């Protein structure tokens, strides 16, 4: 089944404790992206990747890192999480090119205390 | 930079009627616009894409229009059903991908 998976689905952590949210897709998509969704602010793009070893900043990249060492995986790293990073995070993937129908993962609800 | 406005935060429509949702953008016309559906606690699901040179696109009970003069896309659901209740998001690409905040649609039985 074609899908985007994220782990963990739920995470409660404390300020400053490094964490990684994994994202994997099995559709051989070149393009992958991370979003955060907050009430009243909608979906905002954090980082995206056009292909292996190619990443770029979205609208709200501060406090996040990503890497794209393999085509299928695009982990999101929070080196020193802070409470303002409490949010619902979505990973998405699509084929490259102009017509980017994105496939979204199920989401990761992160709480930073 | 480009901004998207989805005019209604929430919309209540009687079952069987046509629901019409609006998406306005501020700057130049994007090459295409996308519409997604999102259910509570789940990731968005792609519905339709319309290019700037297309006036209208249909898929089953869904219809999308794109008016570059008005800088607007309209999303219609005909013969609406309670199962159509969800949040609908429009999105465009402006160097980065930008989503509107969404319209929560409630179809009342």
Q: What is the pLDDT of residues A15-32, one digit of tens each?
A: 999 999 999 999 999 999
Note whether A100 contacts B96, CB cutoff 8 Å.
no
User: In this model, does residue B95 exceed pLDDT 80?
Assistant: no
Nearest to A41 by CA among A59, A22, A17: A59
What pLDDT band is residue A98 in, cutting at 50, 70 and 90? low
Structure tokens at B45: 């699901």
DSSP character string of B46-109: EEEEEETT-SEEEETTEEEEEETTTTEEEEEESS--GGG-EEEEEEEEESEEEE---EEEEEE-
User: In this model, does residue B97 exceed pLDDT 90?
Assistant: no
Q: Based on C-alpha coordinates, what's the Rg of chain A?
A: 13
Contacts of A45 in chain B (CB under 8 A): 96-98
Q: Is A65 exposed, middle or buried (0-12, 13-18, 19+ CB in 10 A)?
A: middle
Phi, then psi, of A85 in degrees rounded to 5: -95, 5
In this structure, how many other beta carbons lie within 10 angstroms of the beta carbon of residue A94?
21
Chain B nearest-CA distance from A41, in A, is: 6
Chain A nearest-CA distance from B61, in A, is: 20
Structure tokens at A30: 């070149």
Nearest to A77 by CA among A59, A95, A58, A61: A61
| A61: contact with B, CB 8 A cutoff | no
| A42: contact with B, CB 8 A cutoff | yes
Q: What is the pLDDT of residues B44-59, one digit of tens each?
A: 999 999 988 898 999 9
Which residue from A41, A45, A101 is facing B49, i.e. has the nearest CB?
A101
Note whether A98 contacts B44, CB cutoff 8 Å.
no
- In the prediction, which pLDDT does A99 show? 65
Note whether B97 contacts A100, CB cutoff 8 Å.
yes
Instruction: Tell me the average pLDDT across A29-53.
Output: 94
Note whether B46 contacts A105, CB cutoff 8 Å.
no
């Amino acid at each position: 089944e074609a899908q985007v998976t994220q782990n963990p689905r739920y995470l409660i952590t404390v300020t400053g404790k490094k964490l990684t949210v994994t994202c994997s897709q099995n559709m051989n998509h070149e393009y992958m992206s991370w979003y955060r969704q907050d009430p009243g602010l909608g979906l905002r793009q954090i980082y995206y990747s056009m292909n292996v070893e190619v990443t770029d900043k979205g609208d709200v990249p501060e406090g996040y890192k990503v890497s794209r060492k393999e085509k299928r995986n695009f982990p999101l790293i929070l080196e020193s999480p802070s409470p303002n990073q409490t949010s619902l995070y979505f990973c998405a993937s699509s084929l490259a090119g102009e017509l980017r129908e994105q496939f979204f993962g199920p989401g990761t609800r992160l709480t930073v205390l | 930079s480009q901004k998207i406005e989805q005019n209604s935060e929430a919309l209540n429509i009687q079952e069987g009627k046509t629901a019409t949702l609006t998406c306005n953008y501020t700057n130049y016309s994007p090459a295409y616009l996308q519409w997604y559906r999102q259910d509570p606690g789940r990731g968005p699901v792609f519905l339709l894409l319309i290019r700037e040179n297309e006036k209208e696109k249909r898929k089953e009970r869904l219809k999308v229009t794109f008016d570059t003069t008005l800088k607007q896309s309209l999303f219609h659901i005909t013969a609406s059903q309670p199962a159509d209740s969800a949040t609908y998001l429009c999105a465009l690409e402006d160097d980065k991908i930008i989503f509107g905040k969404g319209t929560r649609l409630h179809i009342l039985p």
